[in-house]
Amino acid sequence: MLTTSTQIFQKALAEKFAIGAFNVNNLEIIQGIMEGCRAKKSPVILQVSAGARKYAGAIFLRKLMEGAADIYSEIPIVFHLDHGEDFEICKECIDHGFTSVMIDGSKFEFAENIALTKKVVDYAHAKGVVIEGELGKLEGMEDDVVVARGEGKYTDPAQAAEFVAKTGVDSLAVAIGTSHGAYKFPLGIEPKLDFERCRKIAEAVKIPLVLHGASSVLQNFVTEINSFGGKVENSQGVPEAAITEATQCGVAKVNIDTDIRLGMTAAVRKNLAEFPENFDVRKFLGAARDAVQKMVEHKIDILGSAGKI
């Protein structure tokens, strides 16, 4: 069931849970996500990045997501553009059936971010599409989004209130200590999120908050990847307990990409190592799809969205 995030975010805020926003790149990822949501009876946000559009093609991805909406009709599904970099790409996605779009103006100065975001909001709202904006800057790397360590900027609650009032965004991505990629925090440093800041932002803006860069980089998958020849070393993510706590202070959407990549990579490496004679891609991609499903089911439990359809 294709929908916007408006109603499911309202329920999430009222009942203190969050919706998983999972990045999709191909058929197996979408199938794994949807099977996990069906098993857990959870709504879901399928989101597409600029990198995914370049890799798989915008039309291919859109058709795959449309297929998911047809097959899993009992699941509320949001089609979302992640990190839209300009008005043109946001307009294209709005015009081609996305129900939610993120315009990421965080690289600009405050006034320019407001102007760009409002332009997208005005266009989207006229067509019934909801908009996520971003204020603050996360460190790390995800596809084309690259911010060096030390160049991040936490979201200011007072500035967030002004931003929301002037743009009319429906949800707001905030920076409270998370970061993109698998190398979020130096090993030996305890990862911490600024929950007090999160509460202040939520009180100031009165709209759902979004947590980017929230994969936990589960070490069992890192260990498995490395044991089969990988080199994912010195990686550390956001503790899952912190993600659960974030759902209690205004966060209604949590982005998860890296953990899916790690789960899939571990499954593929293990399958190819254990069955070196195999050259049927369906075997190792099937193992990857199963790994996605298990990861999504696990994340749904962390977010508390099981049984919320």
Do the strands 130-135 and 139-142 form a parallel or antiparallel pair, or are they unpaired? unpaired
The number of residues in the chain equals 309
- Say which residues have a Cβ less than 8 Å from residue 132's Cβ, sequence separation at least 6: 80, 100, 101, 102, 103, 169, 170, 171, 172, 173, 210, 253
Active site residue 259: no
Residue with tokens 């997208």: 120
Rounded distance between C-alpha atoms, residue 116 and residue 162, angstroms: 15
Could you tell me which of 180, 193, 205 has the C-alpha nearest to residue 258? 180
Residue with tokens 């993109």: 180
Tokens of 156: 């200011």
Residue with tokens 């991609």: 285
CA distances from 41 to 129, 132, 176, 253, 305 (A): 24, 25, 30, 17, 8
Catalytic one of 82, 143, 170, 259: 82
Active-site amino acid positions: 82
